[in-house]
Structure formats: structure tokens, C-alpha cells
Amino acid sequence: MFVSFLAVYAFFVTQKINLSTADLGRHLKNGEISIRSLSVPDTNLYSYTHPGFPFLNHHWGAGALFFLIERVFGFPGLSLFFTLLSLSAFWLFFDAARRDSGFAPAAFAAAVLIPLMATRTEIRPEGLSYLFCGAFYWLLSNHRRGRVPPRALWALPALEFVWVNTHIYFFLGLMLLGLFVVEYLADALLRKDRDAFRRLKETGLVMLAAVPPCLVNPSGYRGVIAPWHIFQNYGYRVFENQSVWFLERIVSYPPILYFKIAVVLLLLSMVLALMRIGRAFPISQVFLAVIFSTMGGLAVRNFTIFALMAMPLTAANVRIALGRLARLESSRSLLVSLPLILALMCLINKQDFLERRTRFGLGLMEGSNGAADFFKRERIRGPILNNYDIGGYLIYHLYPAQRVFVDNRPEAYPASFFRDVYVPMMEDEAKWKRRDAEYGFNSIFFFRHDLTPHGQSFLVKRVFDPAWAPVYVDAYNIILVRRCRLNQALIAKYEIPQSLFVVGK
């Protein structure tokens, strides 16, 4: 049965890479620079608009790892690595749930939560955070039950060192240690539990030892405090960083319904468990439920890590609430219903399920490199005006020969750049002309499905602008060049008639 869950989850997370909008291209270039120069750049060297702007690369290690895998095994190997990474994280949380609660409650929680876990399938450094968070929780929960020796916890400071150099969510490791310390302290003081005193000492020492490794990163203490400062210079509203209550007012996003179902199930099961055992309920479980539910509510990018953590928490609540009934792992009625539960969750967003079927596979989506290959083959010159989404793609393919106007790192640009330059020039034609004269753009390179209102309207205007000629378009991207002597031969050879463009397509 567990193998079936792994197969289902593998189907959800094994998706071909759309490099045009992914951050992956930039991560690969970061890794290449870090490995070849043996240093981590601390300025926005990819952009010609703000090349000296300070930038703290908190995921440099993930980029280096991705680069090495891609160089040896190609993009299919990188896709396979991410699938195995995701399955490993799933196994850690599922096994923690199974050991604490039994197979049936763990399987029930997994059946409900898998569609929500699979909302983040792009190859990103955060995948390593899922794995490390799972490793921390697996070791701590098994140590609490006496299933692993105390010395096993000493792997956590080493993991913390790797984590702080691969993704900004490294603080979750310290938080998990802290919550288990609080639980043991409460048990020791309120229940006079001798085992709690011992576990408090063992876990507390490990927590103290896990703090210094956090400082061993290229940015030192600035890298440690980065999670609390990264949004202070965000001048651009990024979809994945928006809250549930904000997004549901402006757009239809089906995973929000998954999230609501998961939160209701988690909190309801926790209330029932509390009613059954009262003060004996583990205090760390309450904090974890509140913290990860809040993280998911505040930013939809946290849906996956919330769902992973909710799996053992929900399973534990179900076991407590149902008592002996939940421990009957051979309960046919429950196990038979699991495929139906999973199918129902998938049908909530049937369209997404059908689209995943077409995207299933390893490596790049077919033709995704076509635009960059054309740009390089025809030796098109800059300065390039590109939209936010495609920045990582251009960095991967064109740097250092060409630098970008913007890329998908709001923290790498002054907030005023997005507020006063990028968005206004796309919304207002007079401002566009002033910026065009200022920067002297020679080419426009856009992801053609830019969903922002300003991006779509700007692109339509440029396609029908007599000063610009569209010379390349595919399923992902479009390239235009300025009508001038420099581009005369290129336009004569490749210009796409305006009559072939349909607004909104």
C-alpha cells in the first residue's frame, strides 16, 4: 500500500521543466559561478540596471548541487533527482506518522494531503528544506518514543550546517528543536516525568550545538538573520508569497480549497484528541499545527511544507481521537476507502490533474530552449527588455554575454525600481517612451503568457508598435527587435506579420 502512495506522489511531482518561467536557470548559473570561482557573488551581477546592488545568496549550495547534477546527468537527471528528493521527504514524514500512529491513520492523512503537497513541483532549493525538515522531525519524534539512541540527534547540527547554505528555511530546524525542548520542559516541570528530564538535557544540548553551524555561511550573521529581513526590500508582488485571504479575493486558485480542507481536518482532529486525553496531549503538536498552518495561510508557497508536517500531526490526532479503532491497521473499510478519498481530492481540481498528465516526465518541456537558441544564433544584441518571469531563463542562456533588465528576485533590486520604473513603464506609454530613450532597448524578450495585466497589455502594444518587429514566437516566448539599420537583415528574414497575432493568445 505504501508503494502505491509513493507512486501517486511521484506522478504528481515528476513534471517536465518549463525553463522559461522557472527560477532553475538562475540557480544553475549561480552554482556554475560559485564552483568555478570558488566564491559566492554578493551583488546583482546579472542585471545591467542595478549590477552593484547588494544581494545575499542564501541558497548558493543548492545551486551548486543542481549545477553538478545537470552537468553530469543533464536535465532528465536533475528532474529524477528532484523526484527522489521529494519522495524521500514524503517517506520521512509518512514513516514518522506510521511509527507514532499506525499505518491506517498515516495513510488516511496522506490520501487527503498529497494533492496539496504537490502544489510545488518546480525544481527549487526549498525541496531540500522539505527533506531536512523531515529528517529533523523523524529523528526528534523517534527519539521522543525511544526508538533512536540520543547520539543519533547529533546528526542534526551537521544537517543544520548544510541547510543554512542551501535554503533560507534553515530556521525551521532550530524551531523544531526548540519546540521539543519546550515539550520536555513542560513534562518535566508539570508531570515530574523523569524521562522528560533526560530527553530535555539530550535535546537541549543538541539545540545549543546546532546554533553555531548556522553562522558558517558566506554571509555570516547576515545569513542567519536573512529570513527576518528578506521582505523588507520587496518592491514587486510575487504570487507565491501572497496570503490565502488575499489571493481568494482576486483569483481562482484551487489549492486554496485543498488547504482549507487540510487545516479544518488538522484542527478538528486536534480538538477531538484534546478532548480525549486533555493535558497529556503533546504540547509540541499544538505549536507545530498552529505554526505550520499559519505559514500556509500567510504564503501559498508554504502549502507543501504545511501538508508534509500536517501528515504526522493529523495521523496522531486521528489515532488518539479514535482510540483502539484507529490502531486496527487491517481495518478493511478504512484502507479500501483510501483510493476513493485520494480520487475525490484530485477531482476537486480535475483540470489541474488532467494538465499534470500531459506534463508528466523528465527533463525540459519540448522546445523550451528554442527562443534562446534563436537569439544566440542570430546574434541579436541588447540592451534586452525582458519581463520578470523570464529573467532566470535569460540568465542561464545568455549571461555573461548579455545581462537582463530584471529577473525574478525582487530582493536583488531596489524596491523603487519596480515601483517607479518596471511597472509604470508598462502601464503608461509616455513613461515607456522615456525609459526606452533612457536605456536604448534593442530587443524585447518576453514570456508570452505573462499573466500580469501590465505585462499583457504592454506586450500587445509592442507587437502592434511600428517601431518594433516580432521576429520569433513559440509556445513559450516571443522576441521583438527595434526597426533600425542594425536589425534590418534580421527583420527582412524573420519578421512575423501582425495579421498572425491574435490578442490574448
**How confident is the model over 102-150, as pLDDT tens digits?**
888 888 898 889 889 988 889 999 999 999 999 999 999 999 988 999 9
- What is the arithmetic mean of pLDDT over 213-235? 88
Asked, for residue 245, whether it belongs to a domain, the answer is yes
Number of domains in the chain: 2
CA dihedral 135, 92, 81, 359 (to 10 degrees): -130
* Strand, helix or coil for residue 414: coil
**Co-location of 280 and 398 in the same domain:** no
Identify the domain boundary among 317, 334, 359: 359
User: 312 or 112, which is more confident?
Assistant: 312
* Strand, helix or coil for residue 429: helix
Q: Are 224 and 215 in contact (CB under 8 A)?
A: yes
**Torsion region of 363: left, alpha or beta (phi above 0 gives left; psi -120 to 50 gives alpha):** left
**Co-location of 346 and 380 in the same domain:** no
Cell for 189?
Answer: 516541570
Asked, for residue 47, whether it belongs to a domain, the answer is yes
**Co-location of 284 and 336 in the same domain:** yes
Is the confidence at residue 329, as pLDDT, over 60?
no
Is the confidence at residue 348, as pLDDT, over 70?
no
Asked, for residue 473, whether it belongs to a domain, the answer is yes
**Torsion region of 421: left, alpha or beta (phi above 0 gives left; psi -120 to 50 gives alpha):** alpha
How many Cα atoms sit within 13 Å of 163 on the Cβ side? 27
Is the confidence at residue 250, as pLDDT, over 90?
no
**Co-location of 216 and 101 in the same domain:** yes
- Amino acid making up residue 492: A
Cell for 178?
Answer: 526548540
Asked, for residue 404, whether it belongs to a domain, the answer is yes
Asked, for residue 364, whether it belongs to a domain, the answer is no
Note the pLDDT tens digit of each residue in 45-56: 999 999 999 999
**Co-location of 261 and 384 in the same domain:** no
Asked, for residue 365, whether it belongs to a domain, the answer is no
Q: Would you state the pLDDT for residue 21?
A: 87
**Co-location of 346 and 246 in the same domain:** yes
- What is the arithmetic mean of pLDDT over 255-269? 92
Going by the DSSP 8-state scheme, the letter that residue 417 receives in this structure is I
Q: Would you state the pLDDT for residue 344?
A: 64
Radius of gyration of the chain (CA): 25
**Co-location of 341 and 407 in the same domain:** no
Judge residue 425's burial from the number of C-beta atoms within 10 Å of its C-beta, 0-12 exposed, 13-18 middle, 19 or more buried: buried
**Co-location of 159 and 217 in the same domain:** yes
**pLDDT grade for 505, boundaries at 50, 70 and 90:** very low
**Co-location of 344 and 446 in the same domain:** no
Asked, for residue 505, whether it belongs to a domain, the answer is no
**Co-location of 387 and 350 in the same domain:** no
User: 104 or 341, which is more confident?
Assistant: 104
Percent of the chain's residues with pLDDT above 90: 63
Q: Would you state the pLDDT for residue 229?
A: 85
Asked, for residue 262, whether it belongs to a domain, the answer is yes
Q: Are 393 and 22 in contact (CB under 8 A)?
A: yes
- The mean-pLDDT minimum among 10-24, 29-43, 209-223, 318-332 falls in 318-332
Percent of the chain's residues with pLDDT above 70: 92
Identify the domain boundary among 359, 383, 417: 359
Containing 478, the helix (H) or strand (E) segment is: strand 477-482
Is the confidence at residue 8, as pLDDT, over 90?
no
**pLDDT grade for 349, boundaries at 50, 70 and 90:** low
**Co-location of 338 and 375 in the same domain:** no
**pLDDT grade for 399, boundaries at 50, 70 and 90:** very high
**Co-location of 256 and 202 in the same domain:** yes
**pLDDT grade for 282, boundaries at 50, 70 and 90:** confident
CA distance 469 to 444: 10
Q: Which of 245, 244, 222, 218 is nearest to 232 (CA)?
A: 222
Arithmetic mean of pLDDT over the chain: 89
Is the confidence at residue 304, as pLDDT, over 80?
yes
Is the confidence at residue 343, as pLDDT, over 80?
no
What's the pTM value of the predicted model, to 2 decimals? 0.91
**pLDDT grade for 10, boundaries at 50, 70 and 90:** confident
Identify the domain boundary among 320, 338, 359: 359
Q: Domain range holding 301?
A: 2-359
